Structure 1
Amino acid sequence: MLTESLTRKVGLIVSVAPLTLAVSAATAAATEKSPTQDNDTIMVVGNWLDDADPELVKAHAGARHVVREEQIEESGANTVAEALRLLPGVQVPENNGTGSGDFALNIGLRGLGSRLTSRATVLLDGVPLANAPYGQPQLSMAPISLGNIKAIDVVKGGSAVRYGPQNIGGVVNFITPAIPDDVAGRLALRSEMSTSDGEESRLNGSFSIGGTAENGAGALLSYSGDHGDGFRENNDQDIDNLLLKYTVPVGDTSRIEGRINLYEAEAILPGPLSSAEFDADPFQSTHSFERFDGDRQEVTARYVNEIDALSDLEVGVFASDSFREFTLANGNDSSLTRLDRLPREYQVFGIEPRFSRVSVVGDNTHEWSVGYRYIREESNEKRYRRSGAAGFDPTSVAEVLNRNTDGETDAHALYIDDRITLGNLELVPGLRYENISVSRTNLLTNFTDDEDYSELLPSVSASYSLSPSTLLYANANRSFAAVGHLALSTASDSSLEPERSDLYEIGARYESGPLGLDSTLFYIDFDNQIQYDASVGANVNIGSTRHRGLELALSYDLSELVLAGLSVDGSYAYTQAKHTSGENSGNDLRLYSRHTGSVGLNYRQTDWRMNLRGFAQSSQFADDANTVAASADGANGKIPGFSRWNLSAQRDLTLAGLDTQISFGIKNLFDKRYFTRASIENNGGLYVGEPRTAYIEVATTF
């Protein structure tokens, strides 16, 4: 399959490269004529997201948290979902429903629905990760593996002008490893196995090699794979992710950099359980036919011209070709009356130029940036159905095509912001304009639903440096999301209203000596929220919702107080997310916890590192009616809260002359049994959490 991916990728590279080189040639002359200003203290930031520079994160006028490679390794995390749980206020449920595999991502921010991460903009090195950022923003396939990530940057406030759409909850940016200066490589192998109940037996591997030549040209080839059985029956998966990064200098101040990303995943899905099935054996599977197949090929190129200390030009180009297919049952093997196969294909092309410039007016500085982004999306979505009497064998029945739709999107975004520094005060007003045309054509009836949207999205952020260690901040942002392909009509003109929201934050950040503190109060007004209603089998506007809460993060180095090398960190988030209109007004939104928290005890000494980490969340409702009693099919009822602990250790040593690291640990140390539900899909029901699992990993660098 990787061979096919490479073949398909050639077309994408051919389409992107000439445009990038044309941009390079067009700006080369201007670069030669641009005067370099001699200033030792003022430099343009331009791309403030980039590699999550610690100083930029510290100075950001909004809630922003980063988890880096070292923290991920010490925690024992093995998947992107596990790494995300290290971040304050980020809710990542166990795999459930159509996202019951590590090929998908379910990220919930501030009470916004976590299912397939439809309420946040998710990026890979600043480029949209979704199959179709406007038409299908969900991550039913998330084409990135943990072995190809060096940091995860979550920006919840102050980012709406630069990044969109679907940024109601904020921006999640996955950052890939940098190309090394010298030729270097790394090989890691990891084995996981359930030690109590469960079936888990997995093997993960990652490999990377790269370097930079004397002329500044460099490349990094990186592979990450996940193969084996999950902790439930009928739960196999095979994931391969190949990443090639490159950088090529094209002048004294400019370069072209980018990547080719190939991703493939296959998984057999265990399906949900009824209450009786769960009580009998929560690790069994009563579904024999459900599965997932998907692949994605992506190429990006970015022309960067650091014209001088005060001017910066970037032009990014990206293109992707994605395919994903679910096969889903409407019941377990004995009650099965329908089996659907749902193949979907997406092609996306985008281009985004941005220019930034610093100017000095008296004692004040202005860094203004202006950018434009165009995205073109095309999609095809089919559904093949097999039907029969309860318990029928679907392999004996022919498929019938009963859905075939094409979708198209043309989206233009123009944005401008100005970072104004007035002594210790910094103001960043900004404005984003979105113009979107989206359509969906029912190829079985030739009915087309065309919609056009135009929206002005203002934003303002402010921060004040109370002292070198203390930053106060506040911001207000407006966000907008057009109606996606699947929510458009296919039989009549009954279009939904697009989603709009306003976010407000106020917070403080302190960092001095051994202590770090971060606190944020937030408030979100969310209007016209779109949600799938299983009772009518369609997406609907459920009205307005209100989200408010508090997020706290703490870190403290205990070396001087208790023991050298000992530190503690923790986080807590309180979120209240309620319906404010409609029949469920006053009720909590489904599938989020009001209280979440974590605590970690870390010990580092010479060649040893040890980590004890606990995580807890409060109860959830599975439906918007806030039903407490459990249903017989397992799809509805209150979901109890739970806590769990992980223990890990790492040892550095030299083997055969190579720097080697051996890691081992236990996840869910006390074998806490917990579960979640998938209630909004045809295959709703109970999904058990991961049991106690042991792992060992060996990594070597060369």
Structure 2
Amino acid sequence: MRKTLRLSVPLCVLALAAPLMAQDEEVPQDEIIVTGRGLDPALSSGIYATTTVEREQIVAAPSGRIEDVLRGVAGFQQFRRSDSRSSNPSAQGVTLRALGGNATSRALVLLDGVPLADPFFGYIPLSAIAPETLGQIRVTRGGGSGPFGAGALAGTIELESANPSASGPFLGNAAINSRAETEASGVLTQRLGRGFAVASGRWDRGQGFYTTPQDQRVPATARAAFDSWNAALRGVAPLTDEVEVQARVAAFRDTRTLRFEGADSLSEGQEASLRIVGRGAWQFDALAYVQARDFANIVISSTRFTPVLDQRRTPSTGIGGKFELRPPIAEGHDIRIGADYRRADGELQEDAISAFSGNITERRRAGGATANLGIFVEDDWQIGPVIINGGLRADRTSITGGFYRAVTPAGALVSELIAPDRSDWALSWRAGASFYATRRLDLRAAAYTGLRLPTLNELYRPFVVFPVVTEANAALENERLEGFEIGLDWQPVNALVLSLTAFDNKVENAIANVTIAPNLRQRQNLPAIEAQGIEAGLAAKLGTVSLDGALAWTDATVRGEGTSLALDGNRPPQTPEFSATLTLGWQPAAGWRVAGTLRHVSTQFEDDLETDRLAPATTLDAFLAAPLAGKLSLVLRGENLTGEEIVTRNQGGSIDLGVPRTFWLGLRYGF
């Protein structure tokens, strides 16, 4: 029997009182046979370091943001400590196990099976994910095979939409904070025969806070203003008693200002997916999706405070799909075979501007396409108290159409790169076993390999964060992971669950921004990033009191040679050695919730040479929910109650800060 570690994050979703949505004739709950989910997790999910976050925690983050929910998982890390209201979207890479080093995601993030990473940059559009629409999150740390396994270098984060019984006919949220910033969201669910449809929307806006410290502000300094919305429509219907179809369309738009007046960014996207799931004797999962994304950004000079770069557009498209079949061909075996495909293409369009005259000095375009076709087979074999897993995956990767071209406003060529097309085959595998030692103790061990393609951004887009120039590198090779881990899940008494994992992971050809001269960096393949560490989780419940915690200690080091020899032995940029979270909760009566969360992250470095230090930070968040009438509740929450100075960027002493002390007052209905 597999034990699931229950994590808890302080609850906080704002709410808006509203009448129930008018409905057609009610369908009895026991006749609703569709689930809106994919196939059940494989038996082998208990072999690997997996944490499941349930809905009651998902709709409960003090900030109301999905990244706050994920911070309660041991080993989860964003590229920067900023949340998705006060950072540049292109820096929103996520990873696990301290395997970061640049802003691209090394963890695979899926929503109902669809990869969420931006096709050009590889970042995760966090503001497009509404926590109130989710029913469960499953985080698997470590490399993996199987569907879309080519992106799961550091692990997989699977987001799953809520079903009608979890969301009810109407959910509403509204809140305002101490800076007069607002949040509002709604989820409408309509049962349609044996199926259902869900419409959701969310709008977040505000003046933001000053990310610049008081002693570094100038007249051009601006608050980190933000204005974002997302909307989605999802329908689920049965085709037969054992087969259901799931369709989803969604759109989002996010605008932000960072540090200076006029330093505005825009990210937006639209997507659609179709999924058919069969739950008969021959189970299958067939998925197809298409994504359209765009990104724009204006860079302001930090000395003259005028525009120096206009990234006018970065249109990109992602298409893909998968097919997984689970044939019942051997007793005691859970076999999965299938294939998946992903293709990303995009193009950067930007203008360099003179800080002195305001005239365009250079027009640039860059882009290309990457693709990955994977074929996989896996088998879970149960022999009494032992489950054995083995998986093999073959990937054909290709990088095509790559180019960079810069011309003068008159059209004269300044520089040009036409990258040769290339393709390759790669083999990945994973194997592991779990042993049900006693009724209260599970032991597990696993080894695995993984693969990640470089993004179009890493291959072809140079950028400047004054005074540092970072060059692209069209010759980047695929990253490869090798790793192993051992762990246990122990429940000494019914009220307490402990989880412990020790791991050793190595990313060969790790892509990083490598310093090659003063104020000059280039994206290069490092020989390796090595990470060894321990992850732990705790969940306890004593009557009305609960305690939930997670910690990760990681010794991560760069292996350098040649141009990267000076980095040998350094810690990767933006990588903490230690992080921990602890939540104490109290539910004195139905509908009530009081919780406090203490978080700590240790020292990090901004750069690869370890010259710019990010000080450790310890924060305290709090949450209070009190029922008012029926399904209407009052919600109070606080972020960074101690007013800790959270340094999120330090480039030669130029500092950016994270969220200051913030109080929220809100209502929620239907939760």
Normalising by structure 2, what TM-score?
A: 0.83
1:477–1:663 CA distance, 2 compared to 1 (3 A) = same
The answer to which structure, 1 or 2, has the higher relative contact order (CA under 8 A, 6+ apart) is: 2
How far apart are the structure 1 equivalents of 2:460 and 2:646?
Answer: 39
Task: Give the superposition deviation at 1:449.
Answer: 2.9
Name the counterpart of 2:316: 346
- 2:135 aligned with 1:157, yes or no? no
1:103–1:653 CA distance, 2 compared to 1 (3 A) = farther
SS in 2 for 1:138: coil
Could you tell me which of 88, 94, 97 is aligned with 1:107? 94
Could you list the runs of 5+ residues in structure 2 that have no partner in the other structure? 1-36, 211-221, 407-415, 462-470
- 2:490 aligned with 1:510, yes or no? yes
Q: Bigger CA drift: 398-407 or 690-699?
A: 398-407
Deviation per CA, 1:61-85: give whole Å up to 9, x if none.
1111122332244442311222221
How far apart are the structure 2 equivalents of 1:222 and 1:337?
Answer: 37
Could you tell me which of 247, 250, 266 is aligned with 1:293? 266
1:221–1:368 CA distance, 2 compared to 1 (3 A) = same
Name the counterpart of 1:640: 615
SS in 2 for 1:588: coil
Normalising by structure 1, what TM-score?
A: 0.79
CA contact (8 A) 2:39 2:284 kept: no
- 2:549 aligned with 1:570, yes or no? yes
How far apart are the structure 2 equivalents of 1:158 and 1:119?
Answer: 10
How far apart are the structure 2 equivalents of 1:420 and 1:665?
Answer: 47
Task: Give the superposition deviation at 1:384.
Answer: 1.2
Task: Give the superposition deviation at 1:86.
Answer: 1.5
How far apart are the structure 2 equivalents of 1:479 and 1:458?
Answer: 8
- 2:648 aligned with 1:676, yes or no? yes
CA contact (8 A) 1:322 1:345 kept: yes
Task: Give the superposition deviation at 1:305.
Answer: 1.8
Q: What is the identity, as a one-letter code, of the residue corresponding to 1:441? A: F
Could you tell me which of 148, 154, 167 is aligned with 1:169? 154
- 2:76 aligned with 1:76, yes or no? no
Could you tell me which of 368, 378, 394 is aligned with 1:433? 394
- 2:572 aligned with 1:601, yes or no? no
Task: Give the superposition deviation at 1:177.
Answer: 2.2
CA contact (8 A) 2:316 2:345 kept: yes
Name the counterpart of 2:424: 453
How far apart are the structure 2 equivalents of 1:191 and 1:624?
Answer: 40
Name the counterpart of 1:220: 198
1:97–1:254 CA distance, 2 compared to 1 (3 A) = closer
SS in 1 for 2:395: strand
Name the counterpart of 1:10: none
Task: For 1:450-599, list aligned pairs within 5 A.
Answer: 450-488=421-459, 495-511=475-491, 512-533=493-514, 535-559=519-543, 565-581=544-560, 582-599=565-582
Task: Give the superposition deviation at 1:152.
Answer: 2.8
CA contact (8 A) 1:161 1:457 kept: no
CA contact (8 A) 1:647 1:667 kept: yes
- 2:109 aligned with 1:122, yes or no? yes
- 2:670 aligned with 1:691, yes or no? no
How far apart are the structure 1 equivalents of 2:135 and 2:653?
Answer: 35
Name the counterpart of 1:202: 181
Deviation per CA, 1:308-365: give whole Å up to 9, x if none.
3xx2012101011111112123x4253658333252111121121110023444xxx0
Q: What is the identity, as a one-letter code, of the residue corresponding to 1:623? A: D
Q: What is the identity, as a one-letter code, of the residue corresponding to 1:690? A: V
Name the counterpart of 2:3: none
1:298–1:580 CA distance, 2 compared to 1 (3 A) = same
How far apart are the structure 2 equivalents of 1:336 and 1:538?
Answer: 26
How far apart are the structure 1 equivalents of 2:454 and 2:422?
Answer: 8
How far apart are the structure 2 equivalents of 1:236 and 1:246?
Answer: 34
Name the counterpart of 1:264: 253
Name the counterpart of 1:139: 124
Name the counterpart of 1:184: 169
Task: Give the superposition deviation at 1:256.
Answer: 0.8
1:169–1:182 CA distance, 2 compared to 1 (3 A) = closer
Deviation per CA, 1:14-38: give whole Å up to 9, x if none.
xxxxxxxxxxxxxxxxxxxxxxxxx
SS in 1 for 2:567: coil
Name the counterpart of 1:616: 600
Name the counterpart of 2:214: none
Q: What is the identity, as a one-letter code, of the residue corresponding to 1:174? A: L
Name the counterpart of 1:25: none
- 2:358 aligned with 1:373, yes or no? no
1:536–1:140 CA distance, 2 compared to 1 (3 A) = farther
Q: Bigger CA drift: 102-111 or 350-359?
A: 102-111
Task: Give the superposition deviation at 1:493.
Answer: 9.4
Aligned-residue CA RMSD in angstroms? 2.8
Q: What is the identity, as a one-letter code, of the residue corresponding to 2:184? A: G
SS in 1 for 2:554: strand
Q: What is the identity, as a one-letter code, of the residue corresponding to 1:349? A: I
Greater per-residue strand proportion: 2
SS in 2 for 1:670: coil
Task: Give the superposition deviation at 1:506.
Answer: 0.7
Task: Give the superposition deviation at 1:208.
Answer: 0.8
CA contact (8 A) 1:180 1:211 kept: no
Deviation per CA, 1:456-486: give whole Å up to 9, x if none.
0011121111123321111111111223323
Q: What is the identity, as a one-letter code, of the residue corresponding to 2:662? A: T
Identity of aligned residues (%): 21
Deviation per CA, 1:412-448: give whole Å up to 9, x if none.
1111100111111111100111101112133554723
Q: What is the identity, as a one-letter code, of the residue corresponding to 1:77? A: S
How far apart are the structure 2 equivalents of 1:79 and 1:109?
Answer: 18
Deviation per CA, 1:111-135: give whole Å up to 9, x if none.
2226545211111122100122xx6
Deviation per CA, 1:128-175: give whole Å up to 9, x if none.
00122xx64233676323343343321113633333333221011222
How far apart are the structure 2 equivalents of 1:167 and 1:422?
Answer: 28
CA contact (8 A) 2:601 2:617 kept: yes
Task: For 1:644-663, list aligned pairs within 5 A.
Answer: 644-654=619-629, 658-663=630-635
- 2:399 aligned with 1:421, yes or no? no
1:238–1:328 CA distance, 2 compared to 1 (3 A) = same
SS in 2 for 1:542: strand
Paired residues, number = 595
Task: Give the superposition deviation at 1:98.
Answer: 12
1:105–1:99 CA distance, 2 compared to 1 (3 A) = farther
Task: Give the superposition deviation at 1:106.
Answer: 3.9
